[in-house]
């Protein structure tokens, strides 16, 4: 049976993107405008800009991947830029029927020109709020601690997560260079977040071993894991993650770019799905990885042969894993189930007899 799903159907799937970096998901046109406004545009056209901020296929790994952010971040230092980007990601995501997107960024990385981390956070919240109203999409905001930054800055992020909990911030994350900076020094920030009932997700097991996943869960209080690719290397930890129903936020294109996985065909997403681990599909960085949710689902379909029933399960995993209230989640689940039912019914009706085997 032909496993290829039409792009039109993939576009219509009611998707949930839980792992989307704001500073990695800027429209190239918007980056162009910001560079112009900052009088710092070294590019002759949009193509040249794209070539410089998207990751090359021969990228050497996570550290080189993260370097692309340094360039972009240097110019994202005003609240109005953050607000515009948050708004536009919501618009782009809604355009491919993403029903819930959770945007993450680190407010402490945008204060070089005098804005406070609070002003930056409020700009993201405001952009997300306006976009969700205009584009009929649910948008969450996650603030990130950064591994290579001093722990006091992570404490600051945790205080922001606690202060804006329930008024725009949905959770807290730990991001950055997992290879050269361990999570341990940030445990105080996560203690504060945990104490204040902040939802926690942590980038772990992306390039390091499964013990980083266990640490994220046991010590940092993670309820979700960013990537978690190396979970399978320790069957006991994998069983624990499965039993505790801790979702993995997986991002196919990004994982191939960072060389965490050598090819799409070898991505463990399907293995985890078949093993009963709660996997989700996400974009990570729409700009750096030149991707969107439809592209991620297309790659999961083409390379891992996932079908619509798999996608239904993955999307509902995303709904359960979302950092939303039970009430919001129930509403989202009902409408997603309804849309999926229509897509699956339509697909059954249009399937030709030859496809039955």
Tokens coding 91: 């618009």
Tell the smallest beta-carbon distance from residue 355 to Zn ion (Å): 37
To the nearest whole angstrom, how small is the minimum distance from the Cβ of residue 48 to Zn ion?
26
Query: C-beta of 276: minimal distance to Zn ion in Å?
Result: 24
Structure tokens at 289: 């990885």
Q: Closer CB to Zn ion, residue 5 or residue 98?
A: 98
Q: Lay out the sheet containing 279-281: strands in order across.
A: 15-21, 98-105, 138-146, 169-175, 199-204, 224-227, 248-250, 279-281
We find the least distance from the C-beta atom of residue 261 to Zn ion, in angstroms, to be 14
**Catalytic annotation, pick one of 88, 122, 178, 206:** 206
Q: Cβ–Cβ contacts within 10 Å for residue 50, how many?
A: 15
The count of residues interacting with Zn ion (CB under 5 A) is 1
CA pair distance 108, 189, nearest whole angstrom: 14
Range 218-257, binding Zn ion (CB under 5 A): none
- Provide the pairing of β-strand 169-175 with 199-204: parallel
Q: Where are the beta strands (DSSP E) in 38-185?
A: 98-105, 138-146, 169-175
Write the CA distances from 243 to 250, 281, 355, integer angstroms. 18, 20, 36
Give the integer Cα–Cα distance in Å for 284 and 51. Answer: 18
Quick one: 21 or 312, whose CB is closer to Zn ion?
21
Paired sense of beta strands 224-227 and 248-250, if any: parallel
Nearer to Zn ion, 62 or 343 (CB): 62
State which residue, 115 or 201, has the beta carbon closest to Zn ion: 201
Long-range CB contacts (within 8 A, 24+) of 310-317? 310/270, 310/273, 311/13, 312/340, 312/344, 313/273, 314/273, 314/279, 314/280, 314/281, 315/13, 315/14, 315/15, 315/16, 315/340, 317/247, 317/278, 317/279, 317/280
Q: Specify whether 356 is catalytic.
A: no
Q: How far is the CB of 284 from Zn ion (least distance, A)?
A: 5
Touching Zn ion, residues 257-296 (CB under 5 A): 284
| CB 20 to Zn ion: min, Å | 8
Residues near 165 by beta carbon (within 8 Å), at least 6 away in sequence: 196, 197, 198
Of residues 106 and 115, the one with the C-beta less far from Zn ion? 106
In terms of Cβ atoms closer than 10 Å to its own Cβ (0-12, 13-18, 19+), residue 130 is middle
Asked whether the beta carbons of 83 and 34 are under 8 A apart, the reply is no
User: Are the C-beta atoms of residues 28 and 331 closer than 8 Å to each other?
Assistant: no
Choose between 115 and 295: whose C-beta lies nearer to Zn ion: 295
Shortest-Cβ-distance residue relative to Zn ion: 284
Rounded to whole angstroms, how far apart are CA atoms 299 and 301?
A: 5
Asked if 206 and 176 touch (Cβ cutoff 8 Å), the reply is no
**In the complex with Zn ion, which residue's Cβ is closer, 268 or 312?**
268
Minimum distance, C-beta of residue 254 to Zn ion, in the bound complex (Å): 7
- Supply the residues annotated as catalytic: 206
Residues in contact with Zn ion by the rule CB under 5 A: 284
């Amino acid at each position: 049976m032909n496993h290829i799903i039409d792009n039109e159907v993939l576009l219509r799937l009611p998707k949930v993107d839980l792992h989307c970096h704001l500073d990695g998901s800027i429209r190239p046109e918007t980056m162009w405008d910001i560079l112009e406004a900052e009088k710092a545009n070294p590019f002759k056209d949009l193509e040249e800009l794209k070539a410089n901020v998207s990751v090359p296929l021969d990228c050497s790994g996570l550290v080189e991947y993260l370097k692309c952010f340094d360039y972009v971040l240097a110019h994202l230092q005003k609240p109005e830029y953050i607000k515009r980007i948050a708004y536009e990601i919501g618009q782009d995501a809604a355009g491919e029927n993403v029903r819930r997107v959770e945007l993450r960024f680190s407010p402490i990385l945008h204060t070089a020109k005098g804005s406070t981390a609070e002003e930056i956070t409020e700009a993201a919240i405001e952009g997300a709020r306006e976009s969700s109203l205009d584009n009929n999409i649910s948008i969450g905001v996650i603030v990130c601690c950064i591994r290579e930054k001093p722990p006091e800055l992570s404490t600051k992020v945790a205080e922001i997560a606690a202060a804006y909990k329930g008024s725009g911030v949905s959770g807290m994350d730990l991001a950055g260079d997992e290879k050269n900076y361990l999570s341990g020094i940030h445990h105080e920030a996560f203690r504060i977040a945990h104490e204040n009932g902040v939802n926690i997700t942590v980038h772990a097991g992306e390039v390091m071993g499964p013990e980083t996943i266990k640490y994220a869960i046991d010590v940092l209080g993670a309820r979700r894991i960013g990537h978690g690719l190396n979970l399978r290397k320790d069957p006991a930890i994998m069983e624990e993650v499965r039993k505790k129903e801790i979702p993995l936020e997986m991002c196919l294109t990004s994982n191939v770019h960072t060389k965490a996985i050598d090819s799409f065909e070898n991505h463990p997403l399907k293995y985890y799905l078949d093993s009963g681990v709660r996997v989700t599909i996400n974009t990570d960085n729409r700009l750096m990885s030149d991707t969107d949710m439809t592209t991620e689902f297309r790659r999961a379909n083409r390379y891992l042969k996932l079908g619509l029933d798999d996608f239904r399960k993955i999307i509902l995993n995303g709904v359960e894993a979302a950092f939303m209230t039970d009430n919001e989640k129930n509403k989202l689940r009902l409408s997603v189930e309804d849309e999926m039912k229509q897509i699956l019914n339509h697909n059954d009706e249009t399937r030709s007899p030859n496809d039955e085997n």
